[in-house]
Amino acid sequence: MRQQLVRIMEDQGITDQRVLEAIRMVPRHYFLDSAFEERAYENRAFPIEAAQTISHPYTVAFQSQLLEVLPGDKILEIGTGSGYQACILAYMGAKVYSIERQEALYNITSELLPRIGFRQIRTLFGDGYKGAPRFAPFDKIIVTAGATEVPKTLLSQLAIHGKMVIPMGDDDQQKMIRYTRDSVKSFRKEEFGAFSFVPFLKGVNKGN
Active site residues: 55
Binding letters toward ligand SAH, positions 85-124, x by CB under 6 A: x-------------xxxx--x-------------------
Minimum CB distance to ligand SAH smaller for 151 or for 162: 151
Piece of the chain touching ligand SAH by CB under 6 A; list 11-19, 47-55, 110-118, 169-177? 47-55
Nearest-angstrom CA–CA distance, 92 and 70 = 8
Is 84 near ligand SAH (CB under 6 A)? yes
Please provide residue 170's backbone torsions phi and psi, each rounded to the nearest 5 degrees: -100, -165
What DSSP assignment string belongs to the chain? Answer: -HHHHHHHHHHTT---HHHHHHHHHS-GGGGS-GGGGGGTTSSS-EEEGGGEEEPPHHHHHHHHHHHT--TT-EEEEE--TTSHHHHHHHHTT-EEEEEESBHHHHHHHHHHHHHTT-TT-EEEES-GGG--GGG--EEEEEE-SBBSS--HHHHHTEEEEEEEEEEEESSS-EEEEEEEE-SSS-EEEEEEEEE---B--SS-B---
Identify residues 117-176 at the interface with ligand SAH (CB under 6 A).
Answer: 127-129, 144-145
Measure CA 100 to chain center: 11
Least distance from ligand SAH to the Cβ atom of residue 109, Å: 9
| Binds ligand SAH (CB under 6 A): choice among 28, 67, 79, 91 | 79
- Residue 127: CB minimum distance to ligand SAH, A: 5
- Of 18-26, 131-139, 166-174, 199-207, which part binds ligand SAH (CB under 6 A)? 199-207
Q: Which stretch binds ligand SAH (CB under 6 A): 14-22, 48-56, 156-164, 180-188?
A: 48-56
Q: Which stretch binds ligand SAH (CB under 6 A): 6-14, 51-59, 66-74, 133-141?
A: 51-59
Q: Which of 54, 89, 113, 154 binds ligand SAH (CB under 6 A)?
A: 54
CB of 167 to ligand SAH, least distance (A): 10
| C-alpha triplet 40, 85, 122: angle, nearest 5° | 130
Q: List contacts with ligand SAH (CB under 6 A).
A: 52-55, 78-79, 81-82, 84-85, 99-102, 105, 127-129, 144-145, 198, 200-202
